[in-house]
Amino acid sequence: MILPKAVLTAFLEARQAGPHDWLGMHPHPRGKTLGVVVRALLREVVRCEVVELATGQSWALTALGTEGFFEGIVPRKRAVFRYQLKATFRSGEIRQFFDPYAFLPTLGAQDLYLFNEGNEHRIYEKLGAHLRVVDGVPGVAFAVWAPSASRVSVVGNFNQWDGRYHPMRSLGASGVWELFIPGLGEGELYKFEIRDQRGTVRLKTDPYGIYFEAPPNNASIVWNPNKHHWNDATWLEARRAQAGQLDRPLSIYEVHLSSWKRKLEDANRPLSYRELAPLLAEYTRELGFTHVELMPIAEHPFSGSWGYQVTGFYAPTHRFGTPEDFAFFVDHLHQRGIGVILDWVPAHFPRDSFALAEFDGTHLYEHADPRQGAHMDWGTLIFNYGRNEVRCFLTANALAWCERYHLDGLRVDAVASMLYLDYSRKEGQWIPNKFGGRENLEAISFLRETNDLVHRYFPGVLTIAEESTSFPGVTRPVKDGGLGFDYKWNMGWMHDTLRYFQKESVHRKWHQNDLTFGMLYQYAENFITVFSHDEVVHGKASMLYKMGAWHIPEKVANLRALYAHMWGWPGKKLLFMGSEFAQSAEWNYAQSLDWHLCQYLDHEGTRLLLRDLNALYANEPVLSRNDFNPQGFRWLACDDAEGSVLAYLRMDPFEQTLFAVVGHFTPVIRQGYRIGVPRRGLWKEVLNSNSHFYGGTGLGNEGVCVTEDVPCDGFSQSLVLTLPPLSTMLFKWTAEA
């Protein structure tokens, strides 16, 4: 036996950190004239030979014990040669195959350097598991970052999950471990078995895994993410042409794929990506939405987290199909003219033992100090954005979703929790930054870098911040000192407006400020006006049941008035699924929406109103291409708190097209209500939320109003209107009198 006994023991006890130093073929340690030494560690093998491929000649290896460790000398060979191993298994099966330990590393020094520096933007093509052909041999190249591990092995069905049999090679100071296993293919289950410096063994899924099996096993699956043949070139070219044109129609339908529609007759199962694609595309087209925004679909073990506790950052969840099924979903929506935005979650990750937490026995992806690394609200862990490799992991993740799945935008979740070190913490529970402040400088740098790279690599792809504070410059370009997002959710407008509409009408006169305050900061950012999933869960009531009225018809009238006001107000639009047809119940992630309600006019009428609002919004540039122009808005009447009336003007920069939006939010009829307007002539009533068509009473202004030369509201002419109860109307100036 040439192998030192201590080395053999380390192999058999799964403690060997340098397997390539011993396994495979090596020159004889006592000189080339004696030949080459071949060693193999094979599970359930009783006999092993080394076969020279050039000649077919073979030499038997000697078993060193019963665990499958073999060693032998090929005499009179002065250099290593191309070979295979021929193994006889305990079952009697005989197989000949390439030796994993006969191959050079599949990662280069430049790859590792850029990764450690935090600048390898396509690290997802290097780390993880990738189908490769090396020296003409197909197989799978595995690589994982675990710098503090004492040993890492690839385990799977191919070695009965035994970490002794495929130990990986350490690539030095990079912290990366690597192994090419010939003969493996797509569909192979695998994990990384990691032994830490204390001897504790952890079984971890691949952080860069492309596809995962269902819980409770959660194994990574070898998969090719590029199998789908895309047919959306026209869409992508149009998207690129629109890069930088932020003030354009953007109306977003927020969707939770598992509960949008379900197969009730098939055990209430969710629809697959391929089943969802045509249904969702046609529905959003019918209603006139420009985009769908998917609540997180990256792999997550617990459905009750709605996807926000991610364990597979690079993998579309298995729940609805394979990665190419998801690619088909996006492709189909693109071909039908619908963009796809992904809810992306780089703010935190769960503590599940099989995933990122304490990955190599240390706090690798998260901060060690809980004052920095523990998320107080969700019991999760916070990424260490100051670590180059972690920043590389996350930034490349954003780019991977855009490249592999042609996504049109990333809505970044919980940005506020990333920006502030004291977010949801009491005094003494957080650590100030190096300047003594509360800003998380590393997270801010990460967000700027990610936004910059997404826009650089994928012109036209949007980044959207869910940011609930007044942090300055969220949508200002990075070059101007901002965070570099394209849009920000307008959480302030949402909270104020809902607070107003939740009150019974008799009390609203005391809260007119809730409707007007938002204009003080409306043009500070590029805002999206939103009513998202967060507003219809946890006892907050559905959008319908939030409305401050006792009877359903009045609640529906309030909701229609609210939606018409929302679409008239500056800002892009987002609405959560089910809200468009005034679903009565709160959203339940485990059930389908209550589609049967659409047989009733109260609900179907609300849906039809949303359709017409989207059509008006898309077809009238004043409403859809003028959201970020402060000169495009003017108050007409905002001080009639007693009457709960709100009126404002939307206009183009040259004041050639004008819309008057008039909201009346009490249940009484107001006849002869005078509102001043800046132009004489005809003002056509282009939309009335009280229309019979939408389930209202039909009372309005018979389609058109003509100005009178009576001064009002600071204008020399005015309109005399009939204000239906609980309604919003839009009037368009069309001609001079």
Helix (H) or strand (E) holding 189: strand 189-195
At 105 the pLDDT is 96
What is the bridge-based pairing of β-strands 682-688 and 704-706?
A: antiparallel
Residues 641-692 pLDDT 10s: 999 999 999 999 888 999 999 999 999 999 999 999 999 999 999 999 999 9
Q: State the Cα–Cα distance between residues 471 and 699, nearest whole angstrom.
A: 44
Q: State the Cα–Cα distance between residues 454 and 486, nearest whole angstrom.
A: 11
Q: State the Cα–Cα distance between residues 687 and 224, nearest whole angstrom.
A: 50
Secondary structure (3-state) at 125: helix
CB 317 within 8 A of CB 297: yes
**472, burial (CB in 10 Å: exposed 0-12, middle 13-18, buried 19+):** exposed
Tokens representing 86 are: 């021929």
Catalytic residue among 413, 602, 627, 685: 413
Query: Which residue in 501, 585, 494, 496 sits closest to 539, CA to CA?
Result: 585
Q: State the Cα–Cα distance between residues 669 and 584, nearest whole angstrom.
A: 27
- Asked about 466 being catalytic, the answer comes back as yes
CB 283 within 8 A of CB 575: no
Q: State the Cα–Cα distance between residues 653 and 254, nearest whole angstrom.
A: 31
At 617 the pLDDT is 97
Helix (H) or strand (E) holding 602: helix 601-619
Residues 603-646 pLDDT 10s: 999 999 999 999 999 999 999 999 999 999 999 999 999 999 99
- All structural domains of the chain with their residue ranges: 5-99, 109-221, 250-489, 630-735
Task: For the chain, count helices (H), then strands (E).
Answer: 16, 36
Q: State the Cα–Cα distance between residues 533 and 539, nearest whole angstrom.
A: 12
Question: Which letter, b or e, does each residue of 314-324 get, where b requires 16 or more Cβ atoms within 10 Å of its Cβ?
Answer: bbbbbbbbbbb
CA dist 623 → 580, 620, 652 (Å): 20, 6, 9
CATH architecture of 630-735: Sandwich (2.60)
Tokens representing 366 are: 């998260």
At 706 the pLDDT is 95
CB 675 within 8 A of CB 636: yes
Query: Which residue in 292, 296, 297 sits closest to 253, CA to CA?
Result: 292
Q: Tell me whether the CATH fold assigned to 5-99 matches the one assigned to 250-489.
A: no
Catalytic residue among 120, 366, 466, 486: 466
The CATH code belonging to domain 5-99 is 2.60.40.10
State the pTM of this model. Answer: 0.96
The CATH code belonging to domain 109-221 is 2.60.40.10
Q: State the Cα–Cα distance between residues 622 and 618, nearest whole angstrom.
A: 10
Measured N-to-C along each axis, helices 109-117 and 388-405 cross at an angle, to the nearest 10 degrees, of 110
CB 46 within 8 A of CB 94: no
State residue 520 phi and psi, 5-degree precision.
-65, -30
Q: State the Cα–Cα distance between residues 722 and 709, nearest whole angstrom.
A: 18
How far is Cα of residue 565 from the mean position of the Cα atoms in its chain?
Answer: 29
CB 51 within 8 A of CB 83: yes
Mean pLDDT per block of 10 residues along the chain (737 residues) reads 91 94 91 84 96 96 93 91 96 96 96 96 97 97 98 97 96 97 97 97 98 96 96 98 94 98 90 98 98 98 95 98 98 98 97 96 95 90 97 98 98 96 92 94 98 98 96 96 98 97 96 96 97 96 96 96 98 98 97 97 98 97 93 94 97 92 97 96 97 96 94 95 97 77
What count of other Cβ atoms lies within 10 Å of the Cβ of residue 533? 21
**629-635 long-range contacts, CB within 8 A, separation 24+:** 629/247, 629/523, 629/653, 630/522, 630/523, 632/570, 633/519, 633/522, 633/570, 634/678, 635/516, 635/519
The CATH code belonging to domain 250-489 is 3.20.20.80
Omega prior to 216 cis, within 30 of 0? yes
At 2 the pLDDT is 87
Measured N-to-C along each axis, helices 552-568 and 491-501 cross at an angle, to the nearest 10 degrees, of 150
Tokens representing 627 are: 């959201």
Query: Which residue in 640, 583, 638, 586 sits closest to 606, CA to CA?
Result: 583
At 735 the pLDDT is 62
At 126 the pLDDT is 97
Helix (H) or strand (E) holding 39: strand 36-41
